[in-house]
Structure 1
Amino acid sequence: MQFLIYILVYPFLWIVSILPFRLLYAISDLLYILIFRVFGYRKKVVKENLRLVFPNKSKEEINLITKKFYHHLCDMMVEAIKSLSISEEEMKSRYKFTNIEEIHKLEQQNKSIVLMCAHYGSWEWIFILQKHINHKGYAVYKRLANPYFDRLIKKIRAKYNSHLITTKETIPVLIEAQKRGELTINGFVSDQSPKAGKAYHWNEFMGIKVPMHTGAEMLAKRLDMAIVFFKVKRLKRGFYETTFETITTSPKEYKNYEITDIFFKFVEKQIEEAPEYYLWTHKRWKHRNSVPAEFQ
């Protein structure tokens, strides 16, 4: 059944991916009407999240951010499909890096990198970074339920020398890479919500105390990797700009979870500048009422 779904869906995705961007965004506009206006996909979750973290914003402001967010969400969907066929040249023209020298500087210091980001802007096209640097790229991801689509996603990333690994694979793969003397750059989307009962660290995110993922920080300390935050700015439809901020090249000098807290401050600043580009459909603050006593 999974293979049948794949062979039925893949040709449609491919046809959509080869359309020019003006037609892609016409599809995005149609998706917006269906997802937001007709079906109201997670609209309640989005508005609850926005009201929670922006208690001082008016109803009109919340509604405007909501509409802009759904437009952006639909754009990201079609841009992800475009990844199937987009050329390297076009990707480079649409996803720019303002200070790639930050990564080159770490290469000269012989430092592997933990690259921390949030569900903000566009994280789908970051893999074009591999065409600008010499580090071997890995990205930690959750394996797709359909093995054929999972293989397809890996193939797309591999075109740009970027490799997807699961959480369980991360430590053994990177230890072996270190033994081989490889410089690696390892992407972590680190603003997700861990299970409350398994969280080692709780702190405020957008003014609300929540559990925080600390895996990126702990890995960097274990393997002595530099930690870099990348900030994404949407310039206009289909065009993005990324700026790198090196948090530290010596993570072991920081107290446990201090780096994680710094990362979340960077994310908060991004959200406050343009909240419509954050992924509000996720229940990021769902554990806010179950803070363990030792973290209160």
Structure 2
Amino acid sequence: MQAVVFWLIYPLLWFISILPFWLFYRVSDLVYFIVYYLVGYRKKTVTDNLELVFPEKSSQEIIEIRKKFYRHMCDMFLEMIKSISISEEELKKRFVFTNLEELRRIEKLDKSIILMCGHYASYEWLFALQLNNLKHKAFGIYKKIRNPGFDKLVNDIRRRFGAELIRNSTSTSRITQNEKEGVRGIYAMIADQSPKSPNYKFWTDFMGKKVPFYTGSERMAKELDMAVIYLHVEKIKRGRYKASLINIADSPSKTEDHQITLEYKQHLEKQIKEKPEFYLWTHKRWKHLGKETPQNAVIR
């Protein structure tokens, strides 16, 4: 049944992907109207999140941010579909890296890199990184999609541009094996996921609210001596992004515990506060707010 669903939907996705950009974004406008006004997809979650972290903003300001967010979310979803057919040349023009010399500097150190990303601006076109003649191979850590057809499609899109996806369930073993074999990589990890359990051991303020935080990126960097970079992505306009690479640590083992995670969080918070419409507010990032912290939890 899942295969039938995929093959029924795929022709439409392919057709949308080959549309010229001016028409492509008209489709996104239509999707926005359906999602925001007719379906109201997670509108309560988005509103609750915005009111929670921006208590100083008026109802009208919250509504304006909410509308801008949904427009952006629909653009990003459609841009994922555009990846089916977009050319390398077009992708490089639309997702520009401002300081690739930072990656080349670390490549000379003969170290792999953990690229800490957030649910901010665009992470769908991040695989454009592999189109810039880097020595390191690009990998993305992701959660497997239930429908096998769509899961394969997402993987095939990344492989088109030389990147590879690794399932989160096998990421530790795969990265460790790569390091043992001397395979240097750039591993993109979305690090602001909310832990499933409130019993997670590290809690800190995120947008002024105390919540648990994953520290897996930091732990792996320390254990395997991998450099850490924050991916700072800005949306310049529709279909145009600028990415800067901000160094967090060349030698993670020399940093204090949780320093890397806290610095990552600060970079992400700054972006959210400046332009909140580009954060993924449908994400239930504060679902553990107010729950009791474990006795042995570290609170910063």
TM over 0.5: yes
Q: Does 1:34 align with 2:23?
A: no
Q: Does 1:284 align with 2:285?
A: yes
- The residue that corresponds to 2:105 in the other structure is 105
Unaligned runs of 5+ in 2: none
- The residue that corresponds to 2:240 in the other structure is 239
- The residue that corresponds to 2:171 in the other structure is 170
- The residue that corresponds to 1:122 in the other structure is 122
Q: Residues 254-273 of structure 1: matches in 2 within 5 Å?
A: 254-273=255-274
Rounded Cα–Cα distance in structure 2 between residues aligned with 1:278 and 1:293: 29
Deviation at 1:163, TM superposition (A): 0.9
1:112–1:135 Cα contact (<8 Å) kept: yes
Deviation at 1:118, TM superposition (A): 0.3
Rounded Cα–Cα distance in structure 2 between residues aligned with 1:39 and 1:273: 29
Q: Does 1:90 align with 2:90?
A: yes
Q: Does 1:214 align with 2:215?
A: yes
2:200–2:294 Cα contact (<8 Å) kept: no
Rounded Cα–Cα distance in structure 1 between residues aligned with 2:172 and 2:59: 46
Deviation at 1:168, TM superposition (A): 2.3
Residue 8 of structure 2 aligns to a residue whose secondary structure is helix
- The residue that corresponds to 1:79 in the other structure is 79
Deviation at 1:286, TM superposition (A): 0.8
Deviation at 1:30, TM superposition (A): 0.7
Q: Does 1:201 align with 2:202?
A: yes
Deviation at 1:291, TM superposition (A): 3.4
Work out the number of aligned pairs and report it: 296
Residue 262 of structure 2 aligns to a residue whose secondary structure is helix
AA matched with 1:193: S
- The residue that corresponds to 1:6 in the other structure is 6
1:45–1:280 Cα contact (<8 Å) kept: yes
TM-score if structure 1 supplies the norm length?
A: 0.97
AA matched with 2:148: P
Q: Does 1:180 align with 2:181?
A: yes
Residue 263 of structure 1 aligns to a residue whose secondary structure is helix
Residue 164 of structure 1 aligns to a residue whose secondary structure is strand
Q: Does 1:19 align with 2:28?
A: no
Q: What whole-Å deviation, never above 9, does each CA across 1:73-130 have from its counterpart, x for those lacking one?
A: 1111111100000000000010001111100100111111000010000000010101
Residue 145 of structure 2 aligns to a residue whose secondary structure is coil
2:229–2:248 Cα contact (<8 Å) kept: yes
Q: What whole-Å deviation, never above 9, does each CA across 1:170-192 have from its counterpart, x for those lacking one?
A: 12211221122121000100011
1:196–1:290 Cα contact (<8 Å) kept: no
AA matched with 2:183: E
- Identity, % of aligned positions: 47
Q: What whole-Å deviation, never above 9, does each CA across 1:244-277 have from its counterpart, x for those lacking one?
A: 0010011111222221111111000000110000
- The residue that corresponds to 1:160 in the other structure is 161
Q: Residues 127-138 of structure 1: matches in 2 within 5 Å?
A: 127-132=127-132, 133-138=134-139
Unaligned runs of 5+ in 1: none
Deviation at 1:198, TM superposition (A): 4.3
Which consecutive segments of 4 or more residues in structure 1 shift more than 4 A? Answer: none
1:13–1:81 Cα contact (<8 Å) kept: yes
Deviation at 1:293, TM superposition (A): 5.3
Deviation at 1:14, TM superposition (A): 0.5
Rounded Cα–Cα distance in structure 1 between residues aligned with 2:168 and 2:220: 11
AA matched with 1:266: H
Rounded Cα–Cα distance in structure 2 between residues aligned with 1:18 and 1:198: 46
Residue 196 of structure 1 aligns to a residue whose secondary structure is coil
TM-score if structure 2 supplies the norm length?
A: 0.96
1:200–1:214 Cα contact (<8 Å) kept: no
2:198–2:212 Cα contact (<8 Å) kept: no
Deviation at 1:56, TM superposition (A): 0.6
Rounded Cα–Cα distance in structure 2 between residues aligned with 1:97 and 1:229: 13
